[in-house]
Chains A and B, each alone.
Chain A
Amino acid sequence: MKVILRNPRREVDVDGKRRVKDLLSELGILPSTVLVIRDNELLTSDAVVGGDDVLEVRPVMSGGSGAGA
């Protein structure tokens, strides 16, 4: 599957099937810090991904003085 990461934008290819929580763990990402999106739908950590899936892993953090505005 193809995994699209943001800030900075980059793509990684991952072989095999696994749960979202295991994929994020391999990528060193805490589940509560990202939305995981497939086919314009949000996935929970127990969803199984792989094969021809294209996933976007979108960070949710905003910061600096910009937070909140």
Chain B
Amino acid sequence: MKCRKCGGTASLELRRHNAAFCSPHFIEFFRKQVAEAVHRHHMFTTDETIMVAVSGGKDSLALWDVLIEDGYRTAGLYLDLGIFDYSKESRAKCEAFAAARGLTLHVERVAEAVGAPIPVVQQATRRPTCSACGLSKRYLMNRAALEHGYPVVATGHNLDDEAATLFGSVMHWQTDALPRQSPALASTHPKLVRRVKPLYRLSELETAAYAFLRGIDYIVEECPFAKGATSIAHKQVLDRLEEASPGSKHNFLFGFLDRARPAFERVENVELHECTSCGQVTTGAVCAFCKLADLVKRRTS
């Protein structure tokens, strides 16, 4: 297979674009897609310092790498979930990445914030692990950015992540979740930082290929709690669709963002308050994270 741009040996075939690229031209393609995402959604500027949430996986480290290469000021945030050797190894990957580039890596321990590491939280709450973990991550990302003075948090969500989330929301007609699904969420309260997803135009295969070709040492092993997760089942369904009809995921997500999402936006604005317990933003009196921490405390004491 030949590179579309130079005719050299291709490293990667992108069926949804009906194209193949050699390594240098794929990296150029990747960076252009990120630049397009940043530009289209006014995600951030070179005057701001971006907090990049990193897990040690391919997506978030590829994101950090591409933002550095494009000249943005960045710092990393690693959330230590306390998941046995998986967390130790993923933290080491993030620390090595930051150290090699002389960049700051903030580390927050979930066990310190919620009262127990994720495996204990899962046992104590009997909630799906990914649900408590996702809630904790969103809360801690916002809190850490506020505390350290970063105006924006960037996460490594890719096209496959976003298509799978959309699929899950549509499967259950979660009409309150649909308007919140966006590559860029603005700050709607002084205590809410902007959240952006600069990789939403790139597939999981593309982020993995970029990380590999850039020589990024990322954790290939899967989170032990992700096995059997609903989001994985949704991805597998979409993978089969994509195989039969390349471009399906892209059309599903981009069609939603361009044409369907506005129809789900609420007419009335949601009223935001500060949590009476921690001061972070919530729609009720006490935020979901404080309720989770309280439940963990009661069940583990």
Q: In the complex the two chains form, is A42's CB within 8 Å of B11's CB? A: yes
Nearest-CB distance from B24 to chain A (Å)? Answer: 13
B260 at the interface (CB under 8 A from A): no
B239 at the interface (CB under 8 A from A): yes
Please indicate the chain B residues that have their CB under 8 angstroms from the CB of A31 in the complex. Answer: 243
Q: In the complex the two chains form, is A61's CB within 8 Å of B232's CB? A: yes
Other-chain residue from B20, B53, B225 in contact with A44 (beta carbon distance below 8 A): B20
Please indicate the chain B residues that have their CB under 8 angstroms from the CB of A65 in the complex. Answer: 129-131, 133-134, 137
A41-59 vs B: 1/0 string, CB under 8 Å?
Answer: 1101111000000000011
Please indicate the chain B residues that have their CB under 8 angstroms from the CB of A60 in the complex. Answer: 58, 204-205, 207-208
A1 at the interface (CB under 8 A from B): no
B280 at the interface (CB under 8 A from A): no
A67 at the interface (CB under 8 A from B): yes
Please indicate the chain B residues that have their CB under 8 angstroms from the CB of A6 in the complex. Answer: 220-221
B211-238 vs A: 1/0 string, CB under 8 Å?
Answer: 0110000001111011001011001000
Q: Knowing A61-B235, A63-B231, say if A69 contacts B58 (CB, 8 Å).
A: no
Q: In the complex the two chains form, is B156's CB within 8 Å of A44's CB? A: no
A16 at the interface (CB under 8 A from B): no
Please indicate the chain B residues that have their CB under 8 angstroms from the CB of A67 in the complex. Answer: 59, 157-158, 161, 164, 231
Q: In the complex the two chains form, is B57's CB within 8 Å of A42's CB? A: no
A-B contact pairs, 30 of them (CB 8 A): A6-B221, A30-B240, A32-B203, A32-B242, A37-B212, A42-B12, A42-B23, A44-B10, A44-B20, A45-B1, A46-B1, A59-B222, A60-B204, A61-B204, A61-B222, A61-B235, A62-B58, A63-B222, A64-B129, A64-B130, A67-B157, A67-B161, A68-B60, A68-B155, A68-B157, A68-B161, A68-B197, A69-B57, A69-B59, A69-B79
Nearest-CB distance from B18 to chain A (Å)? Answer: 14
Nearest-CB distance from B119 to chain A (Å)? Answer: 13
A28 at the interface (CB under 8 A from B): no
A35 at the interface (CB under 8 A from B): yes
Other-chain residue from A32, A35, A62 in contact with B57 (beta carbon distance below 8 A): A62
Q: In the complex the two chains form, is B213's CB within 8 Å of A42's CB? A: yes
Lowest 10 A-B CB distances belong to which pairs? Answer: A68-B157, A64-B226, A65-B134, A60-B208, A65-B130, A63-B232, A65-B133, A64-B130, A42-B11, A67-B161
Nearest-CB distance from A65 to chain B (Å)? Answer: 3
Q: How far is the CA of A26 from the CA of B180 in the complex (A)?
A: 41
Q: How far is the CA of A66 from the CA of B231 in the complex (A)?
A: 10
Other-chain residue from A35, A61, A64 in contact with B225 (beta carbon distance below 8 A): A64
Other-chain residue from B205, B221, B229 in contact with A32 (beta carbon distance below 8 A): B205
Please indicate the chain A residues that have their CB under 8 angstroms from the CB of B80 in the complex. Answer: none
Q: How far is the CA of A62 from the CA of B162 in the complex (A)?
A: 12
Q: In the complex the two chains form, is B57's CB within 8 Å of A66's CB? A: yes
Q: How far is the CA of A33 from the CA of B240 in the complex (A)?
A: 10
